[in-house]
Structure 1
Amino acid sequence: MSSSNNQALKTLRNRFLTGLAFVLPIGAALGLLIWVFNIIDGLLKPVIEFFFNWYFPGLGLLVTLVLIYLVGLILSNYFGKQILGWVDKILVKVPIFNQVYNSAKQVIETLGVSNKVSFKEAVMVEFPRTGMHSLAFITNETTNSAGEKLYLVYVPGSPNPTSGFLELLRENQIERVNVSVEDAMKTLISCGLVFPDNVQAIDVGKGDLHPNKL
């Protein structure tokens, strides 16, 4: 086979791979959206068909969104909150189901959907060993017996940020980064697939990150 034919095949392959690299993520994203749409849309399809004897694609999704909004509206007042607390106490006692329920609730609260206090700041810390760094969140501050400020830092897991480790660190054991809490959470949940551009570590000028005894 001549060199010109080899070059033509190489060009053809490169163009195909370039097109595949562009089309494949779009197709995967569309497939995921269609899959989620079909699941949500089908939740109330049997009920709607039973009562009204007619149905069109998307109606189940629309009704589901309206019902979620109405539930949120009801739970936004005092009596609704009392009902929510009562139902929550029951669900956390149901065997097996309570594990899934608690995990889902923790993820939603971590993402900031609830009104609870969120993480104060996203930082980098040396974890799980010296020389390796992990995204973490400052959750609170305290002082030791000498009056030195210490930080409670939560090092979450990925892609499930509800499981992790809590550390008590000095300022020089923390590396400040210009990443918002929201962007850091997206990075963790996506296993790094979603990562903000132009991320730079901020030099605090207080030494390296090697662990020190408290």
Structure 2
Amino acid sequence: MKKYFVTGLLILVPLVVTVWVLRVIVGTLDQVRDWLPPSLRSATYILEWPGTGVLLAVTIVFVTGLLAHNFIGRRLLDWWEKLLARIPFVSSIYSSVKQVSDTVLSPNGQAFRKAVLVEFPRQGAWTIGFLVGSPGGEVAALLGDDQQTVFVPTAPNPTSGYLIVLPPAQIRELEMSIDEALKFVISLGVVAPGKTPGTTIIVPPAAA
């Protein structure tokens, strides 16, 4: 009975977690409908359908990017950023978030360029990290221009971690992709690079 129960868990747990994550994402994006005027929401019955908020959010993002690529859109964007820069407290939050988003989302950004191995937290203990780029500024002036910034994630939650600056001699580049390295960290080393995760079916001895 224990083996049958474990087999059921191996099948249902990934499915339930996947459905839960999708419901959270779709439910969050559906809240975009709340931005519309109440008269418009009540007049259009289609807006009450599940998933319409997702389509509306995607449309808003696409139209915003489309408008920002022409001359008038760029001028409006510059005016908007200058306006936010003059507002105390708001300017610090906006500028910080914008720098992070530009680094992570921009095609020319340096975020997570390569999966690497570094000795951390002590010599002789190796862990997977992600090469971010050169630190620049005062850090580069004190340590040298050849230094590299590496983000070392914590497992199984890679959204937190440590940011360390190392010379190239202490960094070993890996052939695995960023996705494979993240899977390795999140799975606590169970999903090895190049291995496709799947469901392991435990066959009871009687059935075998």
- Whether TM-score is above 0.5 comes out as yes
Over the residues paired in the alignment, what is the CA RMSD in angstroms?
Answer: 3.7
Q: 1:177 is matched with which residue: 155, 174, 177?
A: 174
| 2:145 corresponds to 1:129 | no
Question: 1:118 and 2:110 equivalent?
Answer: yes
Is 1:95 paired with 2:89? yes
Is 1:139 aligned to residue 136 of structure 2?
A: no
Helix, strand or coil for the counterpart of 1:44? helix
Q: Is 2:144 the counterpart of 1:152?
A: no
C-alpha displacement of 1:124: 1.5
Identity %: 23
**Superimposed CA distance per residue, residues 36-78 of structure 1 (whole angstroms, 9 cap, x where no aligned partner):** 2122113214626522523331222222211111001011223
- Distance in 2 (CA, whole Å) between partners of 1:106 and 1:16 is 48
8 Å contact from structure 2 (residues 26, 54) kept in 1: yes
Question: Is the Cα contact below 8 Å between 1:110 and 1:162 reproduced in 2?
Answer: no
SS of residue in 1 equivalent to 2:117: strand
The alpha-carbon distance between structure 1 residues 150 and 48, as it changes in their structure 2 partners (threshold 3 A), is closer
After superposition, the Cα gap between the structure-2 partners of 1:160 and 1:82, relative to the gap in structure 1 and judged at 3 Å, is farther
**Larger RCO of the pair (alpha carbons < 8 Å, separation 6+):** 2
TM-score, normalised relative to structure 2: 0.64
The structure having more radius of gyration, on CA atoms, is 1
Q: Match for 1:29: what amino acid?
A: T
Contact 1:75 1:84 in 2 (8 A): yes
Give the paired residue count.
175
Structure 2 stretches lacking a partner, 5+ long: 137-143, 196-208
Q: Which residue of 1 aligns with 2:205?
A: none
Alpha-carbon distance between aligned partners in 1 of 2:107 and 2:74, rounded to the nearest angstrom: 13
Gaps of 5+ in 1: 1-11, 143-148, 200-214
Corresponding position: 1:192 with 2:186 = yes
> TM-score with structure 1 length normalisation?
0.63
Task: Tell me which of 72, 76, 79 is aligned to 1:83.
Answer: 76
